[in-house]
């Protein structure tokens, strides 16, 4: 068909008139007066009124419309010049160290977003603790200073250096002392820097001051064996562990490492080889370690000394006076039997004590020597350098300062204005120091009293190294350029010392390259790659204890007597907050205490029966007053297992100048610490009076007994040896099924959780938070029971009676003896049920099952009816009640663009009104599959690890493919101990739990 | 319908003498055609303040998020779904009266069906507001509808009781509305015929050109019967499906096969109570004593005793089955209901729903307007608690004790609920002003056969058995709208 028809627009075109031909060349039919307007004359003509109004109208309209919407500003980094090692979407891992532990830092597009354990770190560094996991958030903390301060004004480094150098020179010249107050320094490079600094300023000296001190053990070793060190403890070599108040799985020295050692003898693998260690624990407050003990005996703080004397007497057959336990018959009985067991386990036993009293630790040394621990379970030849603080030295410094003998003081990683036992005295003493310099990253309690704050890098921005144990070195390397105008403290010291090399990177590198690497035949890059260098340890030798213990025992008894009045108060570190240095970390504030499940506060823990005597109820506010006059008002928490006559308060709270999240959370308990016999003592006596107030603590769990339900299955080791399925007897039943069976080709992802290995420490909770962008909701929301954690640790108490364990709330209410508590910790997360009750009820199919056994959650499809959460028997689904990450009412940390950089870009940040829950780290599963695919190989067992699993030191979580019969998880799931929580309702959960085994069947049953 | 005489033994459905068709129209259209009285204004001000509160509370929730309510990780539904089920339940009496009683030729329904149906519609509106407002992302509420969409093959989950719910409630609402409006047509036409000016025009449009011809009436009767036939299964299905929201779940206390009949009985129970609450007031304020008589009140009270007893038996059966099941979770759920932290809610429910309706066995109470009115409110309080007990006390302590939690309502929870009552009454009071609260045409049908004056005529004609007459006169004693002295002479 003819398609090139010609349409004409008018008769002129049709006729092709001359006029048309002429005008057709022009774009406009009539000529526009452009030239007229643009030439001089045009511009000078008078604008007609109508033209003016037209222009005005258009102009105004256009401007108005343009102003209606702000053009969104998208900040992005164009990789026009792509950094060699950065590929968008692919994470990079760098080795570094956190508190002496070697770690891997995951970075995405140049942002550190996750901490993982370094697989090269060694057998017992396979996990990370909650602090390490949460530490990435500190990098993005907006409460930090953005520039150095001089006299509380922002300044430049040049001005600050000028000031500091002048002051230091002045101090040096005046003949006064210069003191560097630091928490323990175990970094060889830092020590080298300090040496250069001291060379320049000979009046300078390092004073090591740890907020929570281990001076007692160090000095006891000096006294007993002439070695002023912390020993290396080998819990893995101990078949019998006796602990007197040492929370070695939690906060004592190196909790994660000890957890790994401890679980080696208690996990499913150990049980399969018919081996399980035995753990007897004496303590006042219920600690994480106590909650894991096979036999736990509550003793008062004043009874701890006599108990040790009694044990010493029983072990050595001597009869030191004072080894009587008065009314505590249980403790008395257990001590006698434990002594027998210790003697049976000579060389395979270990006694540890959490006390910081030198005499007490000397007595412990004597006991350990008597049972042959040295050279086996205690290694004094490869000591631990994690803590080297000297209490007396710092105490002396405060006195020197107040006498005006100190010309300049520098605070490195220390904050005595908060954590010294008498902050007022310290502040007064500080006033007499002419030059005060802090390296804090924020204007904290001490820094705000200083003349200059030379803000230090976060460790993720720093170079450095650490030496946690003799011969064990790890590297610290930066993973991001400094975010603010900060400078590494070591570099500042080098600048002030006018050192030849001021660049700290060069300094660290040359320090390694000259002092360590040549001997090992290694290169600098090897260190960076491996992250840790381990020189073959020396052989541990046995030590004999030769001193007389009589004077020691006398000192212990004196201390015990002075404690035994009023209410004995124990101040302790809890797992989330530790010494309070990380108090502004919202992840840690919201991590529930592993035992009490309290978040965002500290409290006075009192035993249930003792609270009745004191006539206080849970959450009553009481005034706790010490003999030194210090008093605080805190709410009461009823803590089963707490020794009667004692109370416990956690340290690390009550910070006032740490930042938005941590300020005024709880009350400061450091002033309850007292300096006695040359060391800090964490026990004191106080009076408690109710104020009549009421303060509800934010707990993530408020019901504490498991009501005899098959949710928890337990057996004793003896029963287990007879029948591995003990406690897990399966009755006869027939399964009926409403649903079609689907094949799971490829993978079927499942998990096994060993209740015997899990200590309940909670590092998995924080690891999951960081990995999956889980919002922190704050104290009020936790009180409303709205915390968002995808994995939680359920902690249940049951009470031991002669008739068996009592687990039901109503029966517990009638019990007289609430002192003998056994505890079980159960990690609970989405069970990825094959017959998931949540999936059938969702009206919009927002939660569905995948062919690889996972229960998916499509956030974008969710309309938020919450039916799935109601119908979840495990109550693991979490609802976004508000827009937590972008709502000023929940401004704990994430409501600013800077902190949002911590978010994992592989995981969607969920909006308000959407349900969420454990996804089995689906981003990790996909990542692992993709990696295998790119490498053209099948996925193999262990390629994919869950965030919780990777953080777990105890190896309690095993994840993998049940379609592979040889996978670790398939093997674990074949254990006779495996049971599925609520399997009787036939939801076919995908996570198998292993029964809790307690090694209680010796005669030492409490 | 019938010009024949009715048995003298049947009590009259319309009392008063000198009732004519014109008087009926005048009486019933009084509130529609005149300025509202003071009582109406007071009621309306309170109700609209309530509705305003509802607007504020729901807007607050939409703006801030569902976190404004007291819900938590364990208790994901509380006052919202309690309110939803409560309102849906209340709606049931309307359908039962209009459909089931029509099919069973219970002529006494003619005086109360209009208001009851209006109540149904308003109650379902209140319930529907909860369906949307309880969602985390209410702006996506349409996703529960199986609409063709741009998401490819994404469809709704036909396994989910919430989808069934959506069908049930929307069907229920549309059929009820249709039935109600069809019944209104002759009455709107009556208003039209009496009105002038703009009112006439408006009512003219809404009367759909009703002509009143024999053919129109015939079709009207046919449509009414068909719609009654369609509605009847809805009386059973809607609350059955609502109950399945719970019954098909795995939560102890929810997972119960008795729920469908138990919920339907409960719904009728609460619905009749609400009809009584509304009509006892309307009857007095609007002067409708001759049309809504003591006979009506007593009949409804009898239904309340019946359904209340069914509900009571259901409560006891639940307990028995929980024990008999041998399931510790099930047993604990019921022990916890009656003795746990929410024991007071359970015993509130038991007292209001099981014990207090039994008082209606006493004729004196049954015939006391004041007592009936109080009991009708007590029943609805009890029925609210029933849903609260089922939802909250089952959820707050389910399988895993670590997650056990308490639910505490916030001011927003309370305001949304109180506000929904305000919304309901606002709608109902507006209804009273613009539409006849009693079906005029249907009441007129009864005048010649079942009214007091028709019966009086029958007696005067003297053909009736004396004993029966005496019995009839005796039955009139309870009527507060009957002049007893007229019968003293006979």
Average confidence (pLDDT) per 10 residues, chain B, 490 residues: 66 82 86 86 93 94 91 93 92 83 82 87 91 91 84 82 91 90 91 89 90 90 88 88 92 91 90 89 84 88 92 92 91 92 93 91 89 92 93 93 93 94 93 89 83 81 81 81 74
| pLDDT tops 90 at residue A439 | yes
Q: Are residues B326 and B405 in the same domain?
A: yes
On whether any CB of chain A is under 8 Å from the CB of B74, the answer is: yes
| Judgement on whether residues B263 and B243 belong to the same structural domain of the protein | yes
Both B253 and B336 in one domain: the answer is yes
Contact residues, B window 228-267, toward A, CB-based 8 Å cutoff: 245, 248-251
> What CATH number belongs to A744-998?
3.30.70.20
What distance in Å separates the CA atoms of residue A159 and residue A164, rounded to the nearest whole number?
Answer: 9
B74 to A796: CB separation less than 8 angstroms, yes or no: no
Range of the domain at B121: 21-145+158-450
Burial state string for A604-621 with b = 16 or more CB within 10 A and e = fewer than 16: bbbbbbbbeebebebbbb
Q: In this predicted model, what pLDDT tens digit does every residue of A970-995 receive, in sequence order? A: 999 999 899 999 988 889 999 999 99
Q: Inter-chain contact B404–A705, Cβ cutoff 8 Å?
A: no
Do B377 and B469 sit in the same domain of this protein?
Answer: no
A981 → chain B, closest CA residue: B400
Is the confidence at residue A754, as pLDDT, over 50?
yes
Confidence grade of residue A1005 (pLDDT, cut at 50, 70, 90): very low
Report whether pLDDT(A874) > 80.
Answer: yes
pTM of the model: 0.88
B244 within a domain of the structure (yes/no): yes
Q: Name the residue facing B77 among A843, A870, A875 (closest C-beta).
A: A870
Number of domains present in the structure of chain B: 2
Residue B153 lies in a domain: no
Distance, CA of A249 to CA of A286 (rounded, Å)? 13
Torsion angle, alpha carbons of A36, A41, A43, A46, to 10 = -100
pLDDT for B382: 92
Rounded to the nearest angstrom, the minimum Cα separation between A856 and chain B is 15
What average pLDDT does range A304-312 have in this prediction?
90
Rounded to an integer, the average pLDDT of A146-162 is: 91
Give the range among A191-200, A475-484, A570-579, B146-155 with minimum mean pLDDT: B146-155
Please check whether residue B152 lies inside any domain of the structure.
no
Tell me which residue of B2, B16, B3, B10 sits closest to B482, measured CA to CA: B16
Reported ipTM exceeds the 0.85 cut: yes
A590 vs B contacts (CB less than 8 Å): none
What residues of B are in contact with residue A915 (Cβ under 8 Å)? 136
Residue with tokens 């262990």: A942
User: Do B162 and A845 lie within an 8 Å CB cutoff?
Assistant: no
In a domain, B270, yes or no: yes
Residues B439 and B479 reside in one and the same domain: no
What separation in angstroms does the CA of B371 have from each of A489, A509, B277? 83, 93, 11
Enumerate the domain spans of chain A. Answer: 11-68, 149-208+389-469+471-534, 215-384, 592-699, 744-998
Q: Are both B128 and B95 inside the same structural domain?
A: yes
CA–CA gap between residue A518 and residue A512 (Å, rounded):
9
In CATH, what number does A215-384 get? 3.40.228.10
Closest residue in B to A861 (Cα–Cα): B143
DSSP reduced 3-state for A620? strand
Residue with tokens 């530490």: A135
Minimal Cα distance from A866: which residue of B?
B76
What residue of B is the nearest CA neighbor of A784? B72
pLDDT the model gives residue A331: 86
Helix (H, G, I), strand (E, B) or coil at A568: strand
pLDDT on residue A737: 82
Across the interface, do B136 and A781 touch by the CB < 8 Å criterion?
Answer: no
Indicate which of B73, B395, B397 best probes the interface with A, i.e. most A CBs within 10 Å of its own CB. Answer: B73
Please judge whether A870 and B71 are an interchain contact, meaning their C-beta atoms are less than 8 angstroms apart. Answer: no
Residue of B nearest to A708 (CA): B328
Q: How far apart are CA B408 and CA B419, in angstroms?
A: 18
Q: Do residues B438 and B465 share a domain?
A: no
Residue numbers of B between 146 and 185 with CB closer than 8 Å to A: 154-157, 159-163, 166
Residues of A in contact with B141 (CB under 8 A): 863
Q: Pick the most confident of A32-41, A320-329, B356-365.
A: B356-365
Question: DSSP labels for A138-168?
Answer: HHT-TTS-SS-EETTEE--HHHHHHHHHHHH
B29 domain residue, yes or no = yes
Nearest to A873 among B76, B155, B398 (CB): B398
Instruction: Look at residue A777 in the predicted model and tell me its pLDDT.
Output: 92
What does the block give as tokens for B215? 């053919």
Q: Which of A702, A785, A864 is nearest residue B135 as measured by Cβ atoms?
A: A864
pLDDT reported for residue A1003: 46
- The CATH topology of domain A592-699 is Barwin-like endoglucanases (2.40.40)
Based on the domain organization, do B399 and B473 belong to the same domain? Answer: no
Question: Mean pLDDT over residues A716-736, rounded?
Answer: 85
**Which class in CATH covers the domain with range A149-208+389-469+471-534?**
alpha beta
- Rounded to an integer, the average pLDDT of A717-745 is 84
Same domain? B469 vs B432: no
Nearest-neighbour CA in chain A from B73: distance (Å)? 5
Q: Are residues B33 and B12 in the same domain?
A: no
Q: What is the DSSP letter of A670?
A: G
Establish, for the pair of chains A and B, how many residue pairs have beta carbons separated by less than 8 Å: 165
Q: Is the pLDDT of residue A6 over 90?
A: no
Q: Comparing A77-86, A750-759, A827-836, B111-120, which segment has the lowest mean pLDDT?
A: A77-86
Mean pLDDT throughout A777-792? 93
Query: Residue B150 falls within a domain, yes or no?
Result: no
Q: How far is A357 from A218, CA to CA, in rounded Å? A: 10
Q: Which residue of B has its CA nearest to A712?
A: B400
Q: How far is B238 from chain A (nearest CA, A)?
A: 17
State which residue of chain A sits closest to B330, comparing Cα positions. A985
Mean pLDDT of A906-930: 92
Mean pLDDT of A515-523: 86
* Nearest chain B CA: its distance from A262 CA (Å): 27
Asked if the Cβ–Cβ distance from B245 to A862 is below 8 Å, we say no
User: What pLDDT was estimated at residue A563?
Assistant: 87
Q: Are residues B466 and B445 in the same domain?
A: no
Q: What's the pLDDT score for residue A3?
A: 64
Same domain, yes or no, for B270 and B358? yes
pLDDT higher than 80, residue A46 = no
Residue B244: closest C-alpha in chain A: A841
Whichever domain contains B81, its CATH number is 1.20.1630.10
Look up residue A739 and give its DSSP letter.
S
Distance from CA of B323 to the nearest CA of A (A): 17
Q: How far, in Å, CA of A870 to CA of B134, rounded?
A: 14
Which positions in chain B touch A837 (Cβ < 8 Å)? 249-250
Closest CA of chain A from B404, distance in Å? 6
């Amino acid at each position: 068909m003819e398609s090139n028809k010609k349409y004409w627009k008018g008769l002129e075109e049709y006729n092709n008139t001359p006029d048309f031909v002429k005008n057709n060349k022009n774009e406009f039919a009539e000529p526009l007066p452009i030239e007229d307007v643009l030439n001089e004359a045009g511009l000078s003509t008078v604008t007609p009124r109508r033209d003016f109004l037209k222009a005005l109208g258009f102009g105004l309209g256009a401007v108005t419309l343009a102003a209606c919407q702000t053009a969104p500003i998208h900040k992005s980094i164009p990789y026009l010049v792509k950094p060699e090692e950065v590929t968008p979407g692919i994470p990079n891992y760098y080795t570094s160290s956190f508190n002496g532990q070697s770690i891997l830092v995951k970075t995405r597009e140049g942002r550190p977003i996750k901490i993982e354990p370094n697989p090269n770190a060694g057998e017992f560094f396979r996990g990370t603790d909650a602090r390490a996991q949460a530490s990435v958030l500190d990098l993005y903390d907006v409460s930090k200073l953005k520039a150095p301060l001089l006299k509380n004004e922002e300044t430049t480094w040049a001005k600050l250096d000028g000031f500091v150098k002048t002051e230091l020179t002045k101090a040096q010249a005046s003949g006064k002392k210069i003191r560097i107050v630091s928490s323990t320094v175990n970094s060889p490079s830092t020590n080298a820097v300090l040496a250069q600094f001291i060379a320049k300023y000979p009046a300078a000296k390092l004073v090591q001051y740890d907020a929570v001190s281990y001076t007692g053990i160090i000095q006891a070793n000096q006294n007993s064996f002439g070695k002023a060190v912390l020993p290396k403890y080998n819990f893995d070599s101990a078949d019998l562990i006796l602990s007197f108040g040492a929370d070695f799985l939690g906060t004592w020295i190196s909790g994660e490492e000890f957890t790994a050692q401890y679980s080696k003898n208690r996990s499913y693998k150990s049980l399969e080889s018919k081996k399980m260690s035995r753990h007897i624990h004496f303590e006042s407050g219920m600690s994480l370690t106590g909650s894991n003990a096979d036999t736990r005996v509550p003793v008062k703080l004043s009874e701890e000394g006599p108990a040790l004397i009694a044990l010493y007497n029983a072990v050595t057959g001597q009869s030191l006076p004072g080894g009587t336990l008065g009314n505590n018959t249980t403790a008395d009985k257990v001590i006698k039997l434990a002594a027998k067991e210790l003697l049976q386990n000579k060389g395979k036993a270990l006694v540890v004590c959490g006390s910081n009293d030198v005499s007490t630790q000397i007595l412990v040394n004597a006991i350990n020597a008597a049972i042959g621990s040295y050279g086996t379970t205690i290694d004094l030849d490869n000591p631990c350098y994690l803590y080297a603080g000297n209490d007396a030295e710092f105490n002396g410094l405060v006195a020197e300062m107040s006498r005006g003998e100190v010309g300049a003081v520098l605070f490195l990683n220390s904050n005595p204005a908060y954590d010294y036992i008498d902050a007022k005295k310290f502040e007064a003493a500080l006033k007499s120091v002419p030059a005060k310099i802090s390296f804090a990253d924020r204007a904290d309690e001490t820094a705000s009293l200083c003349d200059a704050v030379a803000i230090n890098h976060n460790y993720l921005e720093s170079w450095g190294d650490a030496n946690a144990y003799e011969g064990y070195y790890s590297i610290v390397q930066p993973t991001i350029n400094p975010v603010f105008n900060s400078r590494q403290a070591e570099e500042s010291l080098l600048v002030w010392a006018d050192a030849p090399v001021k660049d700290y990177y060069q300094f660290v590198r040359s320090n390694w390259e000259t002092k360590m690497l040549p001997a090992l035949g290694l290169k600098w890059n090897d260190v960076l790659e491996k992250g840790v260098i381990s020189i073959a340890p020396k052989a541990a030798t046995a030590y004999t204890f030769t001193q007389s213990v009589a004077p020691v025992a006398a000192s212990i008894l004196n201390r015990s007597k002075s404690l035994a009045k009023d209410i004995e108060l124990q101040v302790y570190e809890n797992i989330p907050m530790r010494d309070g240095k990380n108090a502004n970390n919202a992840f840690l504030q919201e991590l529930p205490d592993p035992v009490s499940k309290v978040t965002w506060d500290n409290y006075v823990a009192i035993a249930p029966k003792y609270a009745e005597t004191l006539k206080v109820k849970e959450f009553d506010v009481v005034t706790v007053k010490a003999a030194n006059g210090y008093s605080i008002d805190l709410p009461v928490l009823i803590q089963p297992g707490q020794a009667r006559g004692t109370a416990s308060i956690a340290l690390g709270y009550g910070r006032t100048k740490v930042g938005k999240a941590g300020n005024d959370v709880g009350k400061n308990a450091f002033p309850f610490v007292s300096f006695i016999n040359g060391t800090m003592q964490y026990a004191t006596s106080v009076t408690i009076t109710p104020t009549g107030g009421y303060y509800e603590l934010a707990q993530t769990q408020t019901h504490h007994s498991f009501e005899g339900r098959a949710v928890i299955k337990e057996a004793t080791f003896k029963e287990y040896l007879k029948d591995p399925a003990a406690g897990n007897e399966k009755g006869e039943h027939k399964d009926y099924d409403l649903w079609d069976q689907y094949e799971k080709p490829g993978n079927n992802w499942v998990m096994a959780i060993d209740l015997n290995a899990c200590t309940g420490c909670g590092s998995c909770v924080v690891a999951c938070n960081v990995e999956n962008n889980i919002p922190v909701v704050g104290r009020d929301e936790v009180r409303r029971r709205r915390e968002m954690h995808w994995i939680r640790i359920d902690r249940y108490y049951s009470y031991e009676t002669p008739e068996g364990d009592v687990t039901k709330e109503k029966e517990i209410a009638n019990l007289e003896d609430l002192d003998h508590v056994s505890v079980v910790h159960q990690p609970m997360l989405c069970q990825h049920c094959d017959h998931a009750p949540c999936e059938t009820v969702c009206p919009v199919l927002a939660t569905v099952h995948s062919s690889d056994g996972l229960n998916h959650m499509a956030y974008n499809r969710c309309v938020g009816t919450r039916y799935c959460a109601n119908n979840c028997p495990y109550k693991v689904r979490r609802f976004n009640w508000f827009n937590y990450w972008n709502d000023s009412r929940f401004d704990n940390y994430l409501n600013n663009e800077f902190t949002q950089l911590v978010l994992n870009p592989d995981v969607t940040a969920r909006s308000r009104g959407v349900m969420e829950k454990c996804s089995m780290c689906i981003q990790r599963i996909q990542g692992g599959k993709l990696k295998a695919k790119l490498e053209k190989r099948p996925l193999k067992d262990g390629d994919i690890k869950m965030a919780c699993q990777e953080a777990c030191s105890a190896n309690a979580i095993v994840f993998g493919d049940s379609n592979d019969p040889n996978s670790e998880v398939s093997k674990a799931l074949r254990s006779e101990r495996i049971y599925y929580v609520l399997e009787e309702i036939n939801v076919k959960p995908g996570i198998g739990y292993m029964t809790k085994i307690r090694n209680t069947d010796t005669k030492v049953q409490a | 319908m019938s010009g024949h005489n009715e048995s003298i033994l049947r009590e009259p459905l319309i009392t008063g003498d000198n009732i004519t068709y014109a008087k009926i129209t005048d009486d019933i259209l009084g509130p529609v055609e005149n300025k509202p009285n003071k009582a109406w204004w007071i009621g309306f001000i309170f109700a609209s303040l309530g509705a305003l509160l509802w607007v504020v509370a729901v807007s607050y929730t939409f703006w801030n998020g569902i976190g404004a309510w007291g819900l938590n990780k364990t208790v994901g539904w509380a006052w919202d779904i309690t309110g939803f089920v409560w309102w849906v339940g209340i709606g049931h009496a309307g359908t039962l009266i209009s459909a089931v009683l029509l099919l069973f030729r219970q002529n006494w329904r003619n005086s109360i069906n209009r208001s009851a149906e209006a109540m149904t519609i308003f109650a379902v509106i209140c319930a529907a507001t909860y369906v949307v407002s309880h969602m985390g992302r209410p702006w996506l509420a349409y996703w529960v509808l199986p609409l063709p969409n741009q998401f490819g093959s994404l469809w709704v989950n036909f396994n989910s009781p919430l989808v069934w719910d959506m069908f049930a409630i929307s069907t229920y609402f549309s059929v009820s509305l249709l039935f109600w409006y069809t019944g209104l047509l002759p009455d709107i036409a009556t208003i039209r015929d009496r009105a002038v000016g703009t009112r006439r025009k408006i009512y003219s449009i809404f009367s759909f050109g009703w002509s009143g011809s024999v053919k129109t009436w015939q079709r009207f009767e046919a449509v009414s019967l068909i719609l009654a036939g369609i509605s009847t299964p809805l009386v059973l299905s809607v609350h059955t499906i609502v109950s399945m929201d719970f019954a098909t779940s795995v939560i102890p206390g929810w997972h119960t096969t008795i729920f469908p009949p138990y919920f339907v009985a409960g719904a009728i129970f609460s619905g009749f109570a609400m009809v009584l609450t509304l009509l006892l007031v309307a009857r007095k304020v609007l002067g409708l004593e001759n049309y809504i008589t003591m006979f009506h009140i007593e009949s409804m009270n009898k239904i309340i005793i019946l359904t209340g007893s069914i509900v009571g038996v259901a409560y006891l059966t639940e307990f028995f089955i929980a024990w008999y099941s041998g399931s510790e979770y099930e047993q604990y759920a019921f022990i916890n209901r009656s003795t746990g932290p929410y024991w007071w809610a359970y015993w509130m429910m038991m007292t209001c729903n099981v014990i207090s309706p039994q008082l209606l066995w006493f004729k004196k109470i049954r015939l006391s307007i004041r007592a009936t009115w109080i009991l009708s409110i007590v029943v609805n309080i009890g029925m609210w608690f029933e849903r609260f007990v089922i939802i909250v006390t089952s959820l707050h302590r389910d399988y895993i004790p670590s997650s056990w939690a308490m639910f505490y309502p916030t001011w927003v929870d309370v305001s949304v609920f109180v506000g929904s009552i305000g919304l309901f009454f606002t709608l109902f009071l507006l209804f009273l002003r613009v539409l006849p609260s009693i079906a005029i045409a249907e009441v007129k049908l009864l005048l010649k056969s079942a009214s007091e004056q028709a019966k009086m005529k029958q007696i005067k004609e003297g053909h009736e058995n004396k004993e029966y007459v005496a019995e009839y006169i005796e039955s009139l004693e309870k009527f507060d709208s009957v002049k007893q002295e007229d019968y003293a002479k006979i």
